[in-house]
Amino acid sequence: MSQTKGLEGVVATTSSVSSIIDDVLTYQGYHIDDLAEKSSFEEVVYLLWNGQLPNKEELQSFSQQLVENMEVPEEIFNYMKAYPIADVHPMAALRTAVSQLGLYDAEADASDIETAKRIAVKLQAKIATVVTGFARIREGKEPVAPKKDLSFAANFLYMLNGEQPNETATDAFNKALVLHADHELNASTFTARVCVATLSDFYSGITAAIGALKGPLHGGANERVMGMLSEIDTPENVDSYIQDMFDKKEKVMGFGHRVYKNGDPRAKHLREMSKKLADITGEDKWYEMSLAVEKKVTDSKGLLPNVDFYSASMYHSLGIDHDLFTPIFAVSRVSGWNAHILEQYSDNRLIRPRAEYVGPDKRSYVPLEER
């Protein structure tokens, strides 16, 4: 029996949701560059779930469905207020809250496609409110209700800060959501599909995916990038800091990718938005440090930045707490998880791979009294 460590290069399923071919990322056949530059996040979510871009009427209806489903049961926020706030990472809070949301949905256990699509809308809408609500509760503030006349991206920033964001901030956040929406069969997406392939419920699938995303080798990487930049502190310290990491054989987070050989195509868009926000805020040291780190790592190791690297300085420029970076990843990626769960339900087969046994062989049982 042949095996590949980490399933690298193994094709585990067929999917029409997204593709990575020759270092080109597409959603349902649309190039990521076109979607990042031209589409709203709502359009991209509709595309991922329906296989086509919406017309004006479809987009208006879908956007309205999302905003109308953003409110969460008050009990969820009451539970959050009982969490040991000082010790709870927002990803742990999100994982718990999404699981709890299933308790308040009478349709939670259904797996027929029409009901599943309604659940997908609920989860896509409510996850933004859960993340922003927790962020405010731990600061001793009350959650902010969404505004029905704001886009998904603008509503997230509004619910987080209690102030309507400017156009540049909204555009930057919208672009980040688009770029993180799906990425073929990554770890969290595979986890979601494995979970619902047992015909477990939608909420379990998303909860499982959040658990996988929480790890620093997946969604947690951008938070660790910002931690590194904070320790470096000034562009002048970059060379010695990164060289010290090289000498200690430590991994520089935000560089390299198992799938892309010539660079992550999403990184350039986030680099551009990081620069734009740095110019507006006047805090350009984070962008300058990022550029310096990129040059050092690329020149020394030949590694190129991935989507996590510049998303860190971009989110920081938006005034977002560093430990919220991964939950924001989830706010976007739930769109892809939902698409893959819908695809799995529509043509399901239990996912049950084999393992190559490498343990001891042909052992003889020794009675207890003789051991």
102-161 pLDDT tens trace = 999 999 998 799 999 999 999 999 999 999 999 999 999 999 999 999 999 999 999 999
Q: Which positions are annotated as active-site residues?
A: 257, 308
pLDDT interval class at 40 (50, 70, 90)? very high
In whole numbers, what is the pLDDT of the chain averaged over residues? Answer: 93
Q: Is residue 217 scored above 90 in pLDDT?
A: no
Angle between helices 167-180 and 267-281 (to 10 degrees): 160
Please state, as a whole number, how many other Cβ atoms lie within 10 Å of the Cβ of residue 93.
Answer: 22
- What is the Cα–Cα distance from 260 to 208, expressed in whole angstroms? 25
pLDDT of residue 144: 97
pLDDT of residue 1: 54
SS (H, E, C) 237-299: HHHHHHHHHHHCCCCCCCECCCCCCCCCCCHHHHHHHHHHHHHHHCCCHHHHHHHHHHHHHHH
Residue 53 has pLDDT above 70, yes or no: yes
Residue 222 has pLDDT above 70, yes or no: yes
- Distances from the Cα of 116 to the Cα of 91, 107, 113, 129, 183, angstroms: 24, 9, 5, 20, 21
What type of residue is 57? E
Could you give all domains of the chain from N- to C-terminal order, each with its CATH number? Answer: 16-215+323-346 (1.10.580.10), 221-317 (1.10.230.10)
- Beta strands 30-31 and 18-21, pairing class: unpaired
What pLDDT shows up at residue 22?
87
Measured from the Cβ of residue 235, the count of other Cβ atoms closer than 10 Å reads: 17
Question: Given this model, what pLDDT does residue 86 score?
Answer: 81
pTM above 0.75, yes or no: yes
pLDDT at residue 100, rounded to an integer:
97
If you average pLDDT over residues 239-265, what whole number do you get? Answer: 88
pLDDT digits (tens, 9 = 90+) for 328-356: 999 999 999 999 999 999 999 999 988 88
Least confident of 107-121, 229-243, 255-269, 349-363: 255-269
pLDDT at 64: 97
192 band by pLDDT with thresholds 50, 70 and 90: very high
